[in-house]
């Protein structure tokens, strides 16, 4: 994603390390917590018009090849919860966490990574600490545990993380918190195609913010699914953005086959959030679920 646009939209900042005293206190209380997975029901639209119900569950369920699970994970500012989460992270993840300047951003990074480890560990029946990640040429993470068929992607922003999981197909997810002060046209000039910018300008004022975030999250999810990172030419493909219209990849310049290869899906992420999923393939069953970190 273009760095100028990322700064305009809102960057995440780092924070200092947590105290050893809190870490010791949390360690004593972690027994019996690390495996608790909670969920709440909600009806969400799935790919190709089918509807999936979110079923409350204490465990991650089986994941068939044609299914996609999207987990919604609330994040908070609690340093105590972060201390507990730190225990399941790898040394390199802890090192990255220590580089954050602000406690809020560190807490959410740590909690999101811990949730990712808990959820993937349940699918693979391994402890969260035993998961090992590999990274593609542009930084896209994957599993290095000999479980390459399980694909995932993580996005978090201002109190919420989304973790998308599937098998044998590329996947990307993005979530953003809607901000009224975002310079939508300035960012569109940098990151959107001419067709997308024209559509955005054509929306009535009350729909522009949602249209902008629809476009941003769909483009970001698609770029993440492809694994292209910051090198992706964002103006070289078009997505739908008009509120109320289905999420779609409309055009990819110089590659007409891409449209049939991918499916875009709007993800219900909660009030004031906009989110999107990009997944390789069609006719998939997408289910959203809620997951809470151990308390």
pTM for this model (two decimals): 0.82
- State the Cα–Cα distance between residues 166 and 286, nearest whole angstrom: 9
| Least confident segment among 108-117, 119-128, 136-145, 178-187 | 136-145
pLDDT grade, residue 43 (50/70/90)? very low
Residue 20 tokens, joined: 């050893």
Q: Looking at residues 89-116, what average pLDDT do you find?
A: 95
Transcribe 135-183 into DSSP letters: E-TT--EEE-SS-TTEEEEEEEETTEEEEEEEESS-EEEEEEE--TT--
Q: Looking at residues 29-42, what average pLDDT do you find?
A: 34
> For residue range 118-152, what is the model confidence (pLDDT) as tens digits?
999 999 999 999 999 988 777 888 898 667 789 99
Is 242:284 a contact under the CB 8 Å cutoff?
no
> For residue range 193-224, what is the model confidence (pLDDT) as tens digits?
999 999 999 999 999 999 999 999 999 999 99
Which of 253, 266, 171, 286 lies closest to 217 in space, CA to CA? 266
């Amino acid at each position: 994603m273009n760095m100028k646009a990322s700064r305009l939209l809102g960057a995440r900042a780092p924070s200092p390390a947590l105290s050893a005293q809190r870490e010791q206190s949390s360690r004593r209380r972690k027994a019996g917590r690390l495996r608790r997975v909670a969920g709440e029901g909600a009806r969400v639209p799935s790919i190709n018009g089918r509807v999936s119900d979110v079923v409350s569950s204490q465990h991650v369920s089986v994941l068939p090849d044609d299914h996609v699970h999207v987990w919604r994970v609330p994040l908070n500012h609690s340093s105590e919860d972060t201390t507990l989460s730190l225990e399941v992270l790898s040394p390199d993840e802890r090192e990255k966490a220590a580089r954050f300047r602000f406690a809020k951003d560190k807490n959410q990074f740590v909690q999101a990574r811990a949730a990712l480890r808990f959820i993937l560990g349940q699918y693979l029946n391994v402890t969260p600490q035993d998961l090992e990640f590999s990274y593609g040429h542009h930084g896209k993470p994957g599993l290095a545990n000999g479980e390459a068929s399980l694909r995932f992607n993580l996005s978090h922003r201002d109190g919420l993380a989304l973790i998308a999981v599937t098998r044998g197909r590329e996947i990307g997810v993005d979530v953003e918190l809607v901000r009224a002060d975002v310079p939508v046209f300035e960012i569109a000039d940098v990151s959107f195609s001419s067709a997308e910018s024209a559509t955005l300008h054509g929306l009535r004022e009350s729909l522009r913010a949602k249209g902008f975030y629809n476009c941003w999250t769909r483009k970001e999810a698609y770029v993440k699914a492809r694994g292209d990172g910051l090198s992706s030419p964002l103006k070289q493909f078009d997505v739908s953005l008009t509120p109320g219209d289905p999420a779609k990849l409309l055009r990819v310049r110089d590659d007409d086959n891409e449209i049939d290869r991918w499916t875009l899906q709007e993800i219900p992420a909660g009030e004031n959030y906009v989110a999107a999923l990009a997944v390789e393939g069609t006719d998939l069953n997408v289910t959203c679920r809620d997951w809470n970190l151990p308390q």
